[in-house]
Amino acid sequence: MVQKILIIDDNVAVRENTSELLELAGYETITSSDGKQGLQMMRTNKPDLILCDISMPVLDGFGVLQALQNIPGAATIPFIFLTSKAEMSDMRKAMDLGADDYLTKPYTGDSLLKIVSARIKKSTLLKKAMEESHEFKEPSVLPNEQDNYLTLLENKPIKKIRKKGFVYSEGDSANSLYFLKCGKLKIYKSNESGKDYIIDLLMEGDFFGYTALLEDSVHKESVMAIETSEVVMVPKQDFLHYLNGDNNLSIKFIKLLSKNLIVAEDKLIKLAYNSARKRVAEALLFVAGKFMTDDKHEITFELNRENLSSLAGISPESVSRHLTDFKDEGLLESNGGTIKICDIKKLEKIKN
C-alpha cells in the first residue's frame, strides 16, 4: 500500500522539491500553500504523515497542529515540522504541542526520506500493536493467554529481592525471563560518571529481562528493588521453547518491545526539548500513571528525590526546588519520600 503524505508550505520551491523527492521514493503526495487549506485537504485525503512549515499565512504550523488534536483520528497522524534555523527556538514549543519530529531547512533528500520512513514505520507499528491489543480483549482469546502465562510461570523458582538489591546489573549474562510477583522495581542505565537515568518502573504483574534474551545478548540495563520484592525466574530455554510454540505469547512480547520503543523515543524528545520544570512534572505524571486508581484527582506514592532526579534527568537539587514550587502552587504535598498529587490535571497542563 502506497503511503500518502501531506505537505503544507507557502514556499513554492520547497513544496515542489519536497513533493518530487518523496514521489521518486514511492510515496504519494498532496500539497497545500497554507495551514487552513491544509486542514481541509487532510479531512478529505487522510494522509499517513504530515510535513508542515511553521511560518505561513492564514494559519501557521502551530495552529495546524493544535487543530489536529480536535479532529477524530487526526491526532495520531505523524506530524513533522519544517523549520528554518532562525525558528529553532520555537521547537521546544512545537514538541510540547505534540509534534513528532522536525527538519531544518535546507534539508537533504537523504535526511527527508530517513525521517519520513522512520516516522511512518513507528506509526504502522503502533497501529498494529493497538489492533492486536483489541484482539486480546476478546473473551475467546484471553483465557488461553492467561493459561499460557500460568504454564510459563508454573513451578519456577522465586527470588526475594531486598530494597536496593539487584535483580541483575548492566553487562550481566541473560539467563532468565523475569516476572514481578510483588513489589516495585526500577530499570535504569548509568553513564561513565556513574549518574543514573531511570528507564521504567516495574509493578506487580510486569515481565522484564526479555530484550536481552530475544537479542541473545547481555543485559544493557540494571534492575533494582525500590521496595522488598519477589521475582519469578523463567529459565531462558523454557521461555524460548514456549515462545516458539505459541503465537499468542510471541505477539505479547512483540507488543511489549514495540511499546518500549515508542516510550523510549517519547522520553528522548521530552528530555531534549522540555524545561527542567516540565521534566519534573512529567516524571511525577509518569510515576502517578503507575499508581493510578479509580480516583484520578489525588494520587499518593513513595519515591525519593534521587529516583525522581533519575527519571527527570536533572540534579536532585533542581528536583527539590521544583517540588517546593509545586507545593506552593497547591499541586502536591510531600512528607519525606511520600508524595501526594493533589491536582493531576493542573500538573498535566504545566508549560515549559
Q: Has residue 269 been placed in a domain?
A: no
Q: Has residue 24 been placed in a domain?
A: yes
| Domain that residue 216 falls in | 142-264
pTM of the predicted model as reported, rounded to 2 decimal places: 0.53
Cell of 189: 542505565
8 plus 101 within the same structural domain: yes
Measured CA distances, 227 to 132, 183, 300, 342 (Å): 33, 6, 16, 24
242 plus 306 within the same structural domain: no
195 plus 111 within the same structural domain: no
167 plus 285 within the same structural domain: no
d(CA 226, CA 217): 26
d(CA 70, CA 62): 13
Q: What is the pLDDT of residue 66?
A: 84
116 plus 161 within the same structural domain: no
Q: What is the CATH number of the domain that holds 302?
A: 1.10.10.10
127 plus 150 within the same structural domain: no
d(CA 32, CA 280): 39
Q: Compute φ and ψ for 135, nearest 5 degrees.
A: -65, -40
Domain end marker among 264, 289, 324? 264
Contact present, 281 and 347 (Cβ < 8 Å): yes
179 plus 242 within the same structural domain: yes
- 3-class secondary-structure state, position 143: helix
Q: Compute φ and ψ for 25, nearest 5 degrees.
A: -85, 0
Q: What is the pLDDT of residue 144?
A: 45
d(CA 305, CA 232): 29
Per the listing, cell 507545593 goes with 327
Q: What is the pLDDT of residue 140?
A: 32
Q: What is the pLDDT of residue 259?
A: 74
Domain count, the chain: 3
99 plus 166 within the same structural domain: no
Q: What is the CATH number of the domain that holds 125?
A: 3.40.50.2300
Side chain identity, residue 232: V
Contact present, 100 and 80 (Cβ < 8 Å): yes
255 plus 322 within the same structural domain: no
233 plus 155 within the same structural domain: yes
Domain end marker among 209, 242, 264? 264
- Sheet (strand 207-208) strand order: 158-161, 229-235, 176-182, 207-208
Contact present, 190 and 170 (Cβ < 8 Å): yes
Domain end marker among 222, 244, 264? 264
Q: Compute φ and ψ for 228, nearest 5 degrees.
A: -55, 130
Of 311, 148, 143, nearest to 234 (Cα)?
Answer: 148
46 plus 113 within the same structural domain: yes
Per-residue pLDDT 10s for the chain (352 aa) are: 789 999 999 999 999 999 999 999 999 999 999 999 999 999 888 899 999 999 888 898 989 988 887 777 787 788 999 888 666 666 667 776 777 888 888 899 999 999 999 888 877 766 665 454 444 333 333 334 444 566 778 888 999 999 999 999 999 999 999 999 999 999 998 877 778 888 888 988 889 999 999 888 999 999 999 889 999 999 998 888 888 777 777 777 877 777 777 777 677 777 777 888 888 888 888 888 776 654 455 677 777 788 888 888 888 888 889 999 999 998 888 887 788 888 888 888 887 6
Helix or strand holding residue 80 (H, E) = strand 79-84
178 plus 285 within the same structural domain: no
Q: What is the CATH number of the domain that holds 178?
A: 2.60.120.10
